[in-house]
Amino acid sequence: MDAFEEFTQQLQELETQLAYVKLHTQPPVKIKTVTQSLEAPDQQKLSEVLARYKALYQRSASDAEAKIATLDAQAILNAASGSGVSSPAYTRVYQGKGKAKA
């Protein structure tokens, strides 16, 4: 078994709360993670968090389609590029017409 297969096997057989961590050029190190409580969350707080999340980040399909219909795609592209150029930066780079901003 080569080193890659051996390491893959070790990863698949890791016990609960064990993990490998690798930083930059350092070799991977096996660590034990923190213990998490198995206690059930307070249902009232959970309901509040889920309702807030839904209000902020989720829309019905009809609401999403209505919002999309109000968007001006060309204006969004122009604002995103900052230069009034309508094509995305990656297309301009590959066509040799400019550099993408990082």
Same domain? 28 vs 54: no
- Does the pLDDT of residue 90 top 80, yes or no? no
In a domain, 99, yes or no: no
In a domain, 22, yes or no: yes
pLDDT band at 95 (very low <50, low <70, confident <90, very high): low
pLDDT value of residue 102: 47
In a domain, 28, yes or no: yes
In a domain, 37, yes or no: no
pLDDT value of residue 100: 47
Print the domain residue range for 51: 43-94
CA distances to 11, 21, 29, 54 from 25, in Å:
20, 12, 12, 41
Same domain? 53 vs 27: no
pTM over 0.75: no
